[in-house]
Chains A and B, each alone.
Chain A
Amino acid sequence: MVAWLVRRLAASIAIVFAVVTITFFVVHFAHGTPCGTADRPLPPEVCRQLCRRFGCDKPLWVQYVKYLTALAHGDLGESFGLHRPVADALADAIPNTFTLALAALLVDFALGLALGIYQAVRAGRFGDVAVGNVALLVNSMPVFWLGLVLLLVFGQWLRWFPVGGPNNPVLCPHVDSPYCLLDFLWHLTLPALTLGLVGAAATARYQRAAMLDVIRQDYVWTARAKGLRERRVLLVHALRNALLPIITLFGLAFPFLFTGAVLIETVFAWPGMGRLAVNAILQRDYPVVTGAALLTSAMVVLGNLIADALYAVADPRIRVRGGGGSA
């Protein structure tokens, strides 16, 4: 098990390193400079001075070595556009993206699992078909479009939810009271729902298929034959095995949530990593782009590691094989 973990960790570091390297070179080849924004480029003399300061007048390989050296010391560099350390900018944004991703994950899996089980139990009947079609519809919607629609309907027309931002800047600039916590959750609802709904539609389809596979197996019939209540049969005996493919999906949900967050954070003015990265890309602010890529790839790799670990927890056969391998 330890050897397996070490191998996985080494592979993970290699993946993150590769992502950082590719991002570094791609962004540099895309003419990244500290010379102002798209609509207001800085005067050439200012640009030259900044380039000297940021080292972009040096050969690319020198910049790369300098970047890796700094990275090894935990220094992600300084943002061209934000005029502050990249680490500070990311530290401001990460909690917001995490909160959004976790809330979306909650919506995604709670709703997806419930709908998948419901569909499996009623397979072929009206409820199954109706939920399946709605899930397909939602799943095929572009996430930013769904966000705009929800924003328009629940924000502008019905005014049930606020239009963007993480809080009411007048009443609750900081989450420092229960009232402001509620305000924060109120602001979180629409973006989390948008991101979670699209994920839930996919999760439901996976869960339905997995559940259908399981509930036809002998041990489930045995459980029923023993006189257990249907609810216990489904939720205790069948669901545990039906969760295995969903755990894989959980690992895959991380990249989806992070990439989805890029669009959703823009639509809902959510100050997370996605919006930070989008603005940085538009400004060719490559220290931020590379820092965001580093962090996102680390998150995705971590998500997959967690998924693998959960897989082992949920399926003893995998644990045994993994243990055997490491012995």
Chain B
Amino acid sequence: MPTARPRAGLTLAALACLILVAGCERPVGCTGEYCGTIVIASGGEPDILLPPVSEFAITRDVTDQLFLKLADLGLSGNTIGDEDFQPQLAERWEWDAPTTLVFHLDPRARWQDGQAVTAADVAFTYDAYTDTLVNSSFRSSLRQIAAVTTRDSLTVVFRFRQRYPEMFYDAVYHLRILPAHLLREVPRDQWRSTAFGRAPVGDGPYRFVAWKAGESIELAADSTFFLGRPHLRRVIWRFTSDQQVAVTQLLAGDADAVEVLITPDNVQRACADPKIACYPYKGSAYGYVGFNLAAPGDTTRPHPLFGDRDLRRALVMATDRERLLRNVFGDLAKVPPGPVSQLWWIWDPEIRELPYDSGQAARLLTRTGWTDSDGDGIRDKDGRPLAFRLLLPTTSAIRRQYARLLQEQFRTAGVDVQLDEVDFSLFNERARAGRFDAIINTWNTDPTPSSGFPQTWTPAGFGRSNYGRYDNPEVDRLVDRAVTSAASRDQARRAWRAAVETLNRDAPGIFLFATSNVSAIHNRIIDVTIRPDSWLALLRTWRIPADRLTDRDRVER
């Protein structure tokens, strides 16, 4: 046994060396203003880096650095008119006629393979986005655009079917301009698997470097970018499947940024760290209990319970939404004044809604014949208990938490709620087919209510997103006025407000939460501005001062 101890010592020494050598970073190279590296820990991974065929938020984050729009939304989030939009690929634009919009492209714009960006690229992009073979999910957002044509190599003309307040938004917000010379030969029905989507060539502030499936995507700053050289020279997304791991990577210094901390616990952990700066911003999601107004599985008949407006109103008034929200979200959400996300410019706490009033709720239930005749704690009418099933997906911890709290709250109001917790795809299938009594659902929204609201709360969404088949012609009329004919933002706002208030009176759902987001970013990174609809939209203006560079920022490969 005489050699055992030295061997063990050697092993330990080797292990120590391994940790020491591997743990050290090599401080070399870059100095000055343009050396920063940001590592973003992300809970998801893009499916493909080709904007028309992906709906993932993480894809949008990456491709927004690679592909430019003609113009982009300003910080105000105003989607009406064109005054708050910022030029990107188009250096200017004008209205030739009420329904004709002319963009003049910036002659300095170049694809990263050296080719000039031309009007033909814009026309090609519109054609691709609206092609049924590509079948982009943004196609419906472009339905009001009749044609996109080129006038010369740098001038492109958009013609609309009619005049409406968000024409400009529709023309620019969804279209990331694509290189026609690289994609024209790819058959449209193969876009979802084209090699270009895994190694794209763009015209944005960053160029694609590498994508290691399941691990990371790396972009490098285009130092010749015509709108100004990005300060951070390298952007790396690290992918995890778990949000907790992403936050731990941030706290351990293995990452520099996390988009959303999601839970109050994560916010507390991250924001208490002196190296981390937290940036709150408006969230794009809202959640609600939706009542099925039609009989489950038979849309021709009203629901035996929720066909009754008074019963729905009583249930809304019996729900203490503020208390539920504090329990689940803490300060990370607000009670919405209707089916409205905080991101929408129509958000207004002054919108009238049904109050929390358990006494009035009880009186209304009694007045409509729902009493506890047998003393079992559950109200009944004509021998039938006031009971329903609440559908929710097992994948959402927040909705499960809400469901239990609601179950308890309704129980005290004499209403028996049973939970149907199902797998998400089954949840989706049952929701679309209307096979439920009530549902806890969440919607992620665009910056404007014009697309999402009609799809979810008017007959336009029957068989799609209007799961509960809510239908009030007065709401439809007000929405139509807001979307198509409002002459100004104020007029549109008034129409939207009237629509939401009318909907609130009908109580097609209990609007539970509208999320707030908090991003966490290493505090060596400054000039951080977050645009709520797309947190990395202004990434190229973020920077790390020369005196705060770390080895990670300076290292050359």
A residues at B contact (CB < 8 Å):
30-33, 36-46, 49-50, 53, 78, 81-84, 89, 92-93, 96, 148, 151-152, 155-156, 159-171, 173, 179, 182-183, 185-186, 231, 266-269, 271-272, 275-276, 278-279, 282, 284
Contact = CB atoms under 8 A, between A and B. Distances in A.
A157 to B, nearest CB: 9
Nearest to B254: A163
A278 B428 contact: no
Given A156-B248, A182-B22, 13 more contacts: A31-B426, A32-B425, A39-B395, A42-B137, A83-B193, A152-B248, A160-B19, A163-B245, A164-B249, A167-B215, A168-B25, A173-B557, A271-B212
A169 B214 contact: no
Interface stretch (B68-76, B145-153, B236-244): B236-244
B214 A170 contact: no
Given A164-B254, A169-B238, A33 B214 contact: no
Nearest to A157: B252
Contacts of A185: 18, 22
Contacts of A164: 238, 240, 245, 248-249, 254
B251 interface: yes
B375 interface: no
Contact of B18 (A30, A152, A170, A186): A186
Given A165-B216, A185-B18, A271-B215, A78 B557 contact: no
A93 B19 contact: no
A93 B241 CA distance: 15
Contacts of B212: 92, 173, 271
Contact of B56 (A32, A37, A44, A151): A37
A131 B305 CA distance: 63
B252 A156 contact: yes
Interface residues of B, number: 62
Nearest to A33: B425
B137 A170 contact: no
A83 B197 contact: yes
A276 to B, nearest CB: 7
Nearest to A154: B252
Contact of B21 (A39, A49, A179): A179
B237 to A, nearest CB: 9
Contacts of B1: 231
Contacts of A82: 47, 213
A32 B425 CA distance: 8
Contacts of B215: 165-167, 169, 271
A119 to B, nearest CB: 18
A248 B270 CA distance: 47
Contact of B254 (A49, A162, A173, A182): A162
Interface string B184-220: 0000010011000110000000000010111110100
Given A40-B56, A269-B242, A155 B248 contact: yes
A185 B426 CA distance: 42
Contacts of A40: 55-56, 444
A49 B47 contact: no
Contacts of A42: 55, 137
B210 A173 contact: yes
Given A38-B425, A173-B216, A83 B48 contact: yes
A34 to B, nearest CB: 9
A38 B248 contact: no
Interface in B372-396: 393, 395
30 contacts: A30-B423, A31-B423, A31-B425, A38-B393, A39-B424, A39-B444, A42-B55, A46-B137, A49-B132, A50-B192, A83-B192, A92-B212, A92-B214, A96-B214, A151-B248, A155-B248, A159-B252, A163-B254, A164-B248, A165-B215, A170-B37, A171-B557, A173-B216, A179-B22, A185-B18, A186-B19, A268-B245, A269-B242, A282-B395, A284-B425
Contacts of B214: 92-93, 96, 271-272, 275-276
Given A162-B254, A163-B245, A186 B429 contact: no
Contact of A83 (B37, B47, B245, B395): B47
Contacts of B189: 53
A31 B23 CA distance: 46
A100 to B, nearest CB: 13
B39 A156 contact: no
A41 B236 CA distance: 27
- Nearest 8 Cβ contacts at the A-B interface: A271-B214, A186-B22, A269-B240, A38-B424, A182-B22, A31-B425, A163-B252, A169-B216
Contact of A169 (B26, B39, B55, B245): B39
B524 interface: no
A92 B213 contact: yes
Contacts of B48: 83
Contacts of A284: 425
Contacts of A162: 252, 254
B543 interface: no
A89 B213 contact: yes
A278 B238 CA distance: 18
Contacts of B248: 151-152, 155-156, 163-164
B359 interface: no
B22 A36 contact: no
B552 interface: yes
Nearest to B43: A269
Interface in B352-368: none
B143 interface: no
Given A41-B428, A165-B216, A84 B193 contact: yes
A242 B468 CA distance: 67
Contacts of B19: 160-161, 186
Interface string B36-57: 0101000000011000010110
